[in-house]
């Protein structure tokens, strides 16, 4: 009978790149083939994992080796050293002390002279496995420290930029807006500001056919979830402040991610072009901090997220009595120890209108200017840009549906981006501004209130304190009674 049927196992990962040629895949292959030939062993198969960490045993090459062991095709596993088998102490010890013996397989770490057929050598193996485990942990700590330094320096270190952005090809670690997907992120903010409900925003985006973040990266069409919407809305990156470390791996041996609170994020201000204004971003954060209620099948109430109790400062809740809407202190309603502060919505809106009418009484609107050639050209270019953005979304959908060959997509995407850049450049070159409106908009509409009003506080005696979001913001109007 011949010698044992040998499976050579080769592995190289990023953590071994500093080891030089001695640890390369080809060096391991040559070393082990000579080692086996010198002992008259038959090499049945060579298995390799290039670029796989030793702490993960779900490597494709290693799994193929295990499958052949299960099939009875391998009698001996040969690696250059123990660290090629693995760098996780518990897993490495399990395979050479339990799994291999249970399947009648001998294990040899050639360069270290360890052979499970020689009982005395196995005593030292756990210590060597522990040293390999410590090496990986030490490398992991050093890598994390280096990445943290780059994060704090305002450099983007992720593999994939946030929705709406792309990596700057000329400046490493810098982000640029991506015309093909920036409109999607902007749509999330504008839809939320119009609805002030995360769930309502998700439903509206799905109904409008807006591609999800995964779809924008070439994935299949999907449905917007509350989590997707909230991750976009809470990310300061969209206001131009690079935000990283929102999550991390729970450990160097664990694939599960751990999500951090905002106090642990790394935020570097003003690092790249914003997709939303700071005012809009701040407004969204203030609205998210208030639990809002959206009437079933309809838009949110006009004062949701704007009205607060003047004493305990809790948000006011809506209640309906007959056909009339009232606002009451949410804490009082849930038995939290405050009083009702009950007031009709129409009474608050009347006070707001009175103050806004007074503030806008001196506003004189210029007569609408006649359309100019530039204004017409601007409208045409804006329409062309909308069509291009829709075409970009269609391009990602076609890729996800398998309608495009893999080699076609990059060329088509680059051509699309070039077309968008050209139209954006022509649009920027026009200097004509839109004609002013002929009249003021409805100042009591939900969008207008979100733009103009910072806060409405209702006192126990019926006094209203109205805080606006512009110059001379603290204007108080007092009314008595809650009806």
Q: pLDDT (tens digit, 9 = 90+) per residue, 170-203? A: 988 899 999 888 899 998 998 888 766 788 889 8
> Bridge partners of 109?
79, 114
Q: How far apart are CA 397 and CA 217, in angstroms?
A: 10
Rounded mean pLDDT of 209-227? 89
Higher pLDDT, 154 or 427: 154
Residue 4 to residue 69: CA distance in whole angstroms? 13
Q: Is the pLDDT of residue 343 over 60?
A: yes
| pLDDT higher than threshold 50 for residue 441 | yes
pLDDT at 231 over 50: yes
CATH 3.60.20.10 fits 154-289, yes or no: no
For residue 12, the surrounding DSSP H or E stretch is strand 5-12
Second-level CATH architecture of 5-136: 3-Layer(aba) Sandwich (3.40)
198 alpha-carbon distance from chain centroid: 16
- Cα–Cα dist 64/74, whole Å: 11
Query: Cα separation of 238 and 210, whole Å?
Result: 18
Do residues 453 and 307 touch, judged by C-beta distance below 8 A?
no
pLDDT value, residue 417: 73
Residue 67 has pLDDT above 90, yes or no: yes
What pLDDT was estimated at residue 330?
Answer: 86
* pLDDT score of 479: 41
Q: How confident is the model at residue 251 (pLDDT cuts 50, 70, 90)?
A: very low
| pTM given for the model | 0.48
Q: Residue 77 above 90 pLDDT? A: yes
Give the per-residue pLDDT at 406: 65
Model pLDDT, residue 123? 47
- Identify which has the larger pLDDT, 478 or 386: 386
What's the pLDDT score for residue 108?
A: 92
pLDDT on residue 483: 40
285, 241 in Cβ contact below 8 A? Answer: no
Quick: pLDDT tens for 378-425.
Answer: 777 777 777 777 777 777 776 666 776 666 666 667 766 767 777 777
Q: What residues are paired with 321 via a beta bridge?
A: 324
Q: Please state, in angstroms and rounded to a whole number, the distance separating the CA atoms of residues 170 and 168.
A: 5
* Separation CA 217–CA 222 (nearest Å): 12
pLDDT higher than 60, residue 141 = no
Confidence class of residue 436 from pLDDT cuts 50, 70 and 90?
very low
What are the contacts of 93-96 at 24+ separation with CB within 8 A? Answer: 93/125, 93/126, 93/129, 95/57, 96/122, 96/125
The answer to whether 260 touches 245, Cβ cutoff 8 Å, is yes
The per-residue pLDDT for 45 is: 95
Mean pLDDT of the chain: 78
Most confidently predicted of 107-116, 294-303, 387-396, 423-432: 107-116
Residues of the chain with pLDDT > 90, as a percent, come to: 25
What are the respective helix, strand and coil percentages of the chain, to the nearest 5? Answer: 45, 20, 35
Q: Look at residue 145 and tell me whether its pLDDT is greater than 70.
A: no
Instruction: Let me know: does 77 contact 46? Beta carbons within 8 Å.
Output: no
Rounded mean pLDDT, 227-254: 79
pLDDT of residue 20: 46
pLDDT of the residue at 446 = 78
Give the pLDDT of residue 322: 86
């Amino acid at each position: 009978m011949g010698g044992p049927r040998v499976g050579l196992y080769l592995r190289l990962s990023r953590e071994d790149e500093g080891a030089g040629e001695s640890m390369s895949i080809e060096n391991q292959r040559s070393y082990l083939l000579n080692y086996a030939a010198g002992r008259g062993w038959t090499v049945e198969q060579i298995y390799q994992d290039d670029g796989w960490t030793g702490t993960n045993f779900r490597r494709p090459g290693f799994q193929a080796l295990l499958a052949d062991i299960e099939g009875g095709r391998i009698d001996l596993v040969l690696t250059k050293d123990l660290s090629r088998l693995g760098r996780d102490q518990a897993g490495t010890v399990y395979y050479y002390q339990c799994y291999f013996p249970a399947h009648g397989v001998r294990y040899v770490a050639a360069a270290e002279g360890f052979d499970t057929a020689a009982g005395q050598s196995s005593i030292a193996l756990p210590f060597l496995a522990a040293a390999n485990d410590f090496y990986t942990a030490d490398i992991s700590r050093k890598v994390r420290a280096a990445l943290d330094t780059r994060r704090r320096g305002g450099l983007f270190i992720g593999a994939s930029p946030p929705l709406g952005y792309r990596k700057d090809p000329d400046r490493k670690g810098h982000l640029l807006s991506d015309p093909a997907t920036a409109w999607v992120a902007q749509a999330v903010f504008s839809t939320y500001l119009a609805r002030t409900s995360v769930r309502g925003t998700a439903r509206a985006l799905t109904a409008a056919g807006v591609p999800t973040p995964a779809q924008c990266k070439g994935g299949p069409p999907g449905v917007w979830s509350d989590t997707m919407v909230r991750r976009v809305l809470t990310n300061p990156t969209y206001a131009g402040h690079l935000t990283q470390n929102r999550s991390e791996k729970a450990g160097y041996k664990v694939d599960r991610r751990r999500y951090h609170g905002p106090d642990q994020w790394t935020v570097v201000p003003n690092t790249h072009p914003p997709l939303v204004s700071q005012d809009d971003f701040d407004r969204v954060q203030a609205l998210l901090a208030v639990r809002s209620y959206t009437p079933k099948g309809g838009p949110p109430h006009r004062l949701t997220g704007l009205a607060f109790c003047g004493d305990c400062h809790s948000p006011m809740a809506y209640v309906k009595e007959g056909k009339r809407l009232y606002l009451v202190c949410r804490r009082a309603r849930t038995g939290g120890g405050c009083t009702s502060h009950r007031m009709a919505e129409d009474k608050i809106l009347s006070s707001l209108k009175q103050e806004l009418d007074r503030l806008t009484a001196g506003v004189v609107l210029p007569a609408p200017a006649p359309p100019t050639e530039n204004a017409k050209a601007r409208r045409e270019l804006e329409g062309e840009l909308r069509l291009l953005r829709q075409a970009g979304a269609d391009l990602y959908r076609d890729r996800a549906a398998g309608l495009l060959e893999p080699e076609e997509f990059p060329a088509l995407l680059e051509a699309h981006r070039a077309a968008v850049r050209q139209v954006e450049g022509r649009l920027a070159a026009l200097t004509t501004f839109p004609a002013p409106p002929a009249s003021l908009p409805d100042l009591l509409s939900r969008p207008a209130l979100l733009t103009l009003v910072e806060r409405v506080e209702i006192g126990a005696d019926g006094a209203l304190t109205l805080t606006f979001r512009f110059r001379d913001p603290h204007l108080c109007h007092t009314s008595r009674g809650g009806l």
